[in-house]
Structure 1
Amino acid sequence: MPLSEHEQRLLDQIERELYAEDPKFASTVRGARLRRPARRRRIQGIALFIVGVALLVVGVMVKALWVADFPLMSVVGFLAMFFGVVVAIMSGRHPGGAEATKGPAKPKSSFTQRMEERFRQRFEE
Structure 2
Amino acid sequence: MPLSEQEQRLLDEMERNLYKHEADIVTTSSGPRTVNYTRVALGIALLAAGLAVVVVGVVVQIALVGVAGFGLAVAGAMLALTASRPAEPGEQEASSTPKGGAAPKARSRSSLMERLSEEWDKRQQQ
Same fold by TM-score, threshold 0.5 exceeded? no
Q: What TM-score do you get using the length of structure 1 for normalisation? A: 0.44
The TM-score normalised by the length of structure 2 is 0.43
Structure showing greater Rg: 1
